[in-house]
Structure 1
Amino acid sequence: MTTEKDSVRFNIESRLLEELGERLVSSPDIALSELIKNAYDADSPDCNLELIENRSLTIKDHGHGMTLSEFKTRWMTIATDNKEVNFFSRNYNRIMTGSKGIGRFAARTLGKKLILTSIAYDESLGVRTKLVATFDWEKLNDTRDLLKLTIPYKLTYPVNDPIGTELCISDINDNIDEGVLKTVRTSVLDISSPYEILRQDVTKRKRKSKKSTDKDPGFTVHISADYSESMGPAEAVLKSYTGRASLVLKNNTLSVNIHFKDNEPITKKITFHNSINRDVYIDIRYFPRRPGAFANLEVNGNTARSWATDHRGIAVFDKGFRINPYGLHNDDWLQLDRDQAHSHRHWRSRLSEKYIPIPKQDQSIESRNPMVNIITNFQVVGAVFIESPNTGSKANKDTGLIPSMDREGYIKNNSFKDLLHLARFAVEYLTSEDKRIQLEEKITKGKEEVLAVKKEIRTAIHNIEDSPTLNKNDKVRIVEQFTHLAKRLESTEEYDQRAREGMEHMGFLGILAGFMTHEHQSILWELNKTLDRLESISTKSNKIAENIPSIKNSISKIEGYIDYTNLFIKNIATPIEKNLKIKPRIRHVLRTFKHFTEERDIETNVECGSSELMPPIPIPAFEGIVLNLYSNAIKATINKVGNKDPQILIIAWSDSKNHYFTVSDNGIGIPESLERRIWDPLYTTTSAENSPLGSGMGLGLPLVKRVVESFKGKISYSKATGQFVTCFKVTFPRK
């Protein structure tokens, strides 16, 4: 028996270079962008691209160049980790943009031959050197063993040539033309482009390096004069937006600014977990296809519309360089066009679901659901600006924005999903606000038209009465017809007003549904637990009987809530009834929470005369107000640590002018610094941590206030007297 032991090496064929080039650099514009990034990382103040008769291409910079040692260890090393270890550039501490040695593969995909010339100061020699290396890619492909490839070079020193690097690519590929250079022109942010205007507007500053030892002169890309173009109407058009969304994410704080022309801007600050780990700036301008959208501009309206169409979409710029394919004409990375085509009815961004929720009653109504008319790529010009960190092979794939292998977009990790949510939130907020404004304008226009019709009717009646050609009987008959028409018009107005108020009353269903959903989770869990035990012990244990009362009690609770909800919905459409007693209505709401208050020893007292009447408002509106204030009081008493005697007091009374009722509790109270904010939408003082009723969404009190005021009532908060801490008082006029 013979046993041999040895080791073998991988054989790597030289065509691997060609294969890597095609996979890592998918198009010529991306290849050129990668070479421009190398110039930026070399601290060059500029990069010059020149295409000569579509036969050769020169890329030249005035950066620090490469010494022979750097050429061998960096340029000639595949997948070098230099830019993953050194995050900032040598002289100006710019954030590095290139990665993984893509530059040489970019040069390989552009043409058949490359002459690299680099002048640098070599500290080991103490002089300025000139390195010239020649790459003949076709000959290199003929060499089968990659490890045997050699690149001829010539090193000259000392020299007095200006420091920098020049790449001369000859026998360039047929797909490199002026169209490619124009694409590159808009792919590099610091070339004059509409995206530079957006970036300066949203960041409020010029581009600066992260930190610097010397003053950074900035970075400019120059392309052959034949391929340069003026900014055209960009600045004028971008200023003429109908709506604009500006979002700035710094650390974990998201600042939101939504502005529509002739409307007050909406500003918010939101806490957002920033897994992207960089500042993010988003600026999106909205140009709806409506008459007058491009009126009163310095440029022709058709020219402006054509420009907006040519620059449509939402681009992404990472450290000043555009990331394809986001925002290109055939791209729909935010699924805006898709959602409109399929009439999608729900927000996609989790931020939208939380901060601009679509009411359930609006989701099925096309005229009121903003998602049905989601803003599309054809209606926006916008960009997302980020500075993502370099990430090496050991990086967490769920953290940070990581370019895909072919440089086409990012890997779809958690950071990219966060970026999607942010950009989509900006568009959805614009859509929501646009729908709100359109509905308000429609109502205003309708009122104006009604007033105009009324005026015309009055004029017609006046003219008929003054007409000398009509006899008395004809005048009476025609005037009666016009008068009847005017009354029908007034009736229609009143119906429309009541319908809108009814929509607001329906919002109380959301409060009730939120409470019931939380409670049902607890009840169903109890039922499932009991059933599991029944199945496990079957008929072998007497403990089955002990569970029967619990099951019956839980089912009874569910039935009670369903009955209450059905009655609530049924009463939504009922007219206002007069002379209803108020105490039974209050007791009806209190019974809904009876098991909560009894289980937690919360004492609730109602002080109200038996003959006291309910305010002249719909029953569901009144019960919704009581329900919200009472449930808030329960949460407050439960959340107060060490509250041994939780109490709630409801008082109702009236005088010759008004109906009054108050809800007081001895719970945790509201800090004085927060009292003004309790009426703000989406602001809540409650927490789900200790409360079985869950935390609020910050919609209850603002909604209560709106409904109270819609019936000419008032609601106020004050510190209670005696043993109570908080008191809400509601006042309604008797008539």
Structure 2
Amino acid sequence: MSLDHYSFRPRARLLVLLGEQLIGSPRLALFELVKNAYDADSTIVSVTLLLGDPNPSILVLDDGDGMSFEDLRDIWLVPGADHKLVAKLSNKRSPRFGRLPLGEKGLGRFAVHKLGDLIELTTRKKNEDYESVVKIDWEDLSKQNFLSDAQVQIEKRIPQTFTGNSHGTKIWIGKLRQVDWSRGDVRRMYRQVTSICSPFGAPTDFQVNLTVPGREDDLIGIPSYQDILERAIWRFKFSLSADGLLSWRYEFVNRLKGVKLEDRTASASETRLLVRNPGRDLLGDSSTPRDERLLVDSSFMNGIGPIEGEFYVFDRDKEVLARMPETQLIKLFLDESGGIRVYRDGVRVYNYGERGDDWLGLDLRRVNVPAARISRNIVVGAIHLNQQQSTGLSEKTNREGFTESDSLDRLKRAVLGSISIFEIERRADKERLRRLLKSDSPEPTYSVSAPIHDLRRLADKHGVLTILEPVIKRIETEFNSFQETMLQAGLSGLGLAVVFHEIERGVRVLHNGLEKQLDITELKQQAQSLTKLFDGFAGLLRKNDREPISVSKLIRQARDLNTLRFSYHKVDLICPVLDDKALDFELSVSLSLMLGVINNLFDNSFYWLRVRYPEVNGNAPLHQRKIFVTTFKSDSGGVGIAFGDNGPGFIDPPTALVQPFVTRKPEGMGLGLYYANLVMEMSNGSIQFPDSGDVEMPAEASGAIVALVFENKGRGGSK
């Protein structure tokens, strides 16, 4: 038998499909043409929408370097040409302005077909004595059988468009696919095209203008970015170097009429940035390796390069808006243009920051902590990247964001970590503002559906869904029932936030157990402990559901529930009471709630020990991370349990630590210590933050120390 060779024979309609289906919208198509002008070293791009003509058309004119006959033949007519990618990889910059090309896939030229079926391209290369003209009817072209049959003529002629010493490219697009353009369409196109350059630091050598002859009124009243930014109440700027050093500045500017509140600023230079722990996420593919670093360093920034961010944040509470001028203008602008955009070398990466795009998940993360976190519709911001150093970030072929990658995940974590710093600072001024205006915080809503869904998926993957389903179903049913009961009793808000915080944490622990494929007996024990939380929360409402238990037994149960986590995080537990070397005594408490308190304290220590002693090459340090638990007698005649670690310790004052939604963890809810304080108050006790010497804690416990102090009333006898 003979072995024959054949080549692909693409149909001519492939070119039409590339333009029609690869580019998402006409606005994005025009955006691509403007980016091509930038790559051609243009200084000015003029976009004209000729919508009043009998046959509407679009004209794009730039003063760039233009193309020669050979450029048209060997590059422009070659789909997938890689000359821009080669230039980018070799750091070959444009001759006039030293720009790295934005394009790299050789497909942007087909964007014109998204706009119309007819195209006439006229171009003259700098220092050439002729100009070239290409005319294409995409409809006729697509009727040819094969791509090789789709012939295009290039005309060389004496310059008629680019006369004298002028040069550049002119693209006329006719037979528009969208014939009727509403006022809203025109305004959206204007915002789209003009947004290609950052309003926070655009290239000074590149400008885009859009005109609509005969329909100038359509563009009246579009506010400039600067007009809106000057009215922002909060401002936040940060820079993150390629080495991972963070500098930031926060500003609160009181612009409210009749409100006497001092402005406030805060800043820091060359500190380390804390980022979200991806291992905390319940959603996502658990089979994908996770970068679990909590501190940003030079290796974390590899493929991303330095980041600069600038955010202008508003407040949409009605009490605040009532004291600001032109509130309707601000609201409309935020609805249309709110969000955080991404720019490389000052030029926008579409579609980050577009309406409907929540690339950082701001709205989702705000659902459960609405008063503490920002959403897209109150912020106008920008992230600036360096084109040459952000090599790990590659734009999708359809030009709608970066392709999913580890570099993109790290970029998101770094930006969210910086936003968390802003939110911590903003909270203090937000509270001052709310107290003055006596405004009501919106009630948060909570749902365990997402983590429960992921739990079921993982249980099914490991073949234990049948065994765990009754418990998972009970968790879901009882939470919804408990939420309804609290809402009917008028006890929503913080009380419900605490419940959700504990259930979400418990589900996460069970989820991690499934991922580590623990023995089914251990998994059932963890699941049953989680369901007992509801009994404990019911007791919290009744304030009388208590049972006697010794401290040694209480701590032993808490340790056993966290055995996997102590091992995973390489944390040593030093607890004399478990070895009969410290005071043991009996308490009368709600066991499930008290276990929740201890688990929260362990949670905090695990996290901050990872910050203090980060992994090296993915490996946790041995015998450096330590948690200490000891018992003591208080000065008031009571007894207590002290928890300490050798982490970085507390930054905030004790009064702030037990307030709800106060946290230094990126993406943390800030309810752990609030919950602990609430349970202790219900247990005739208190939570305190003593020095190590006050609670007989070893000097090695140099980090955070939290003491649970029980008065004589409400505890059993000690032994």
Q: Tell me the distance in 2 between the aligned counterparts of 1:499 and 1:140.
A: 64
Q: Tell me the distance in 1 between the aligned counterparts of 2:404 and 2:621.
A: 45
Q: Tell me the distance in 2 between the aligned counterparts of 1:447 and 1:183.
A: 35
Offset of residue 75 of structure 1: 1.5
Q: CA 1:589/1:512 → structure 2, altered by over 3 Å: closer, same or farther? A: farther
Q: Tell me the distance in 1 between the aligned counterparts of 2:663 and 2:182.
A: 52
| 2:646 alignment partner in structure 1 | 670
Q: CA 1:63/1:725 → structure 2, altered by over 3 Å: closer, same or farther? A: same
1:84 counterpart = 2:85: yes
| Residue aligned with 2:637, SS | strand
Offset of residue 171 of structure 1: 4.1
Residue 124 of structure 2 aligns with an amino acid whose one-letter code is S
| 1:64 alignment partner in structure 2 | 65
Moved more, 237-246 or 53-62: 237-246
Residue 118 of structure 1 aligns with an amino acid whose one-letter code is R
1:165 counterpart = 2:131: no
1:603 counterpart = 2:579: yes
| Residue aligned with 2:581, SS | strand
Offset of residue 412 of structure 1: 5.7
Q: Any residues of structure 2 matched to 1:224-623 within 5 Å, and which?
A: 224=211, 226=213, 227=216, 232=223, 234-241=225-232, 269-270=274-275, 271=295, 277=304, 279=307, 281=309, 283=311, 285-288=313-316, 290-297=318-325, 300-311=326-337, 331=356, 333=358, 348=364, 369-370=368-369, 379-380=377-378, 382-383=380-381, 385=383, 387=385, 400-405=393-398, 407-408=399-400, 525=518, 572=540, 586=551, 589=554, 592=557, 603-607=579-583
| 2:107 alignment partner in structure 1 | 102
Q: CA 1:587/1:503 → structure 2, altered by over 3 Å: closer, same or farther? A: farther
Offset of residue 295 of structure 1: 2.4
Residue ranges of structure 1 left out of the alignment (5+ in a row): 122-127, 201-205, 209-216, 340-347, 353-357, 359-368, 449-495, 530-553, 685-695
Cα pair 1:47 1:60 within 8 Å, conserved: yes
Q: Tell me the distance in 2 between the aligned counterparts of 1:257 and 1:385.
A: 15
Residue 589 of structure 1 aligns with an amino acid whose one-letter code is L
Residue ranges of structure 2 left out of the alignment (5+ in a row): 255-260, 268-272, 276-294, 441-488, 564-572, 610-619, 714-719
Q: Which is higher, the Rg of structure 1 or of structure 2?
A: 1
Residue 223 of structure 2 aligns with an amino acid whose one-letter code is G
TM-score, normalised via structure 1 length: 0.56
| 1:112 alignment partner in structure 2 | 118
Q: CA 1:184/1:129 → structure 2, altered by over 3 Å: closer, same or farther? A: farther
Q: 1:358-387 deviations in whole A, cap 9, x for unaligned?
A: 9xxxxxxxxxx546999876x445355465
Q: Tell me the distance in 1 between the aligned counterparts of 2:512 and 2:72.
A: 69
Q: CA 1:733/1:43 → structure 2, altered by over 3 Å: closer, same or farther? A: same
Residue 169 of structure 1 aligns with an amino acid whose one-letter code is W
Q: Tell me the distance in 2 between the aligned counterparts of 1:699 and 1:67.
A: 65
Q: CA 1:715/1:499 → structure 2, altered by over 3 Å: closer, same or farther? A: farther
Cα pair 2:118 2:136 within 8 Å, conserved: yes
Q: Tell me the distance in 2 between the aligned counterparts of 1:285 and 1:134.
A: 48
Cα pair 1:237 1:308 within 8 Å, conserved: no
Cα pair 2:23 2:111 within 8 Å, conserved: yes
Residue 396 of structure 2 aligns with an amino acid whose one-letter code is P
Q: Tell me the distance in 1 between the aligned counterparts of 2:500 and 2:142.
A: 71
1:659 counterpart = 2:623: no
Q: 1:84-143 deviations in whole A, cap 9, x for unaligned?
A: 11115322332322343335423455352414121324xxxxxx4433223242665676
Offset of residue 44 of structure 1: 1.7
TM-score, normalised via structure 2 length: 0.57
Q: Tell me the distance in 2 between the aligned counterparts of 1:33 and 1:130.
A: 28
Residue 402 of structure 1 aligns with an amino acid whose one-letter code is E
Q: CA 1:447/1:561 → structure 2, altered by over 3 Å: closer, same or farther? A: same
Q: 1:216-237 deviations in whole A, cap 9, x for unaligned?
A: x520012337456566375454
Q: 1:312-339 deviations in whole A, cap 9, x for unaligned?
A: 566665665556666555x3656989x8
Q: 1:51-95 deviations in whole A, cap 9, x for unaligned?
A: 456455443322222233333321122211111111153223323
| Residue aligned with 1:147, SS | helix
Offset of residue 185 of structure 1: 2.9
| 1:47 alignment partner in structure 2 | 45
| 2:689 alignment partner in structure 1 | 715
| 1:147 alignment partner in structure 2 | 148
1:134 counterpart = 2:161: no
Q: Tell me the distance in 2 between the aligned counterparts of 1:275 and 1:584.
A: 52
Offset of residue 293 of structure 1: 0.8
Q: 1:338-372 deviations in whole A, cap 9, x for unaligned?
A: x8xxxxxxxx55xx8xxxxx9xxxxxxxxxx5469
CA-atom RMSD in angstroms:
6.6
Offset of residue 152 of structure 1: 3.0
Cα pair 2:309 2:382 within 8 Å, conserved: yes
More helix by share: 1
| Residue aligned with 1:382, SS | strand
Aligned pair count reads 571
Cα pair 2:87 2:100 within 8 Å, conserved: no
Offset of residue 716 of structure 1: 1.2
Moved more, 724-733 or 217-226: 724-733
Q: 1:566-587 deviations in whole A, cap 9, x for unaligned?
A: 996676457699xx9xx98645
Q: Tell me the distance in 2 between the aligned counterparts of 1:171 and 1:522.
A: 57
Q: 1:261-300 deviations in whole A, cap 9, x for unaligned?
A: 6697899743466698364747464442624415242xx3
| Residue aligned with 1:86, SS | helix
Q: CA 1:319/1:503 → structure 2, altered by over 3 Å: closer, same or farther? A: same
| Residue aligned with 2:105, SS | coil
Residue 63 of structure 2 aligns with an amino acid whose one-letter code is H
2:208 corresponds to which of 221, 227, 238: 221
Cα pair 1:97 1:319 within 8 Å, conserved: no
Q: CA 1:276/1:249 → structure 2, altered by over 3 Å: closer, same or farther? A: farther
Cα pair 1:633 1:648 within 8 Å, conserved: no
Cα pair 2:69 2:156 within 8 Å, conserved: no
| 2:257 alignment partner in structure 1 | none
Q: CA 1:320/1:661 → structure 2, altered by over 3 Å: closer, same or farther? A: same
Moved more, 98-107 or 261-270: 261-270
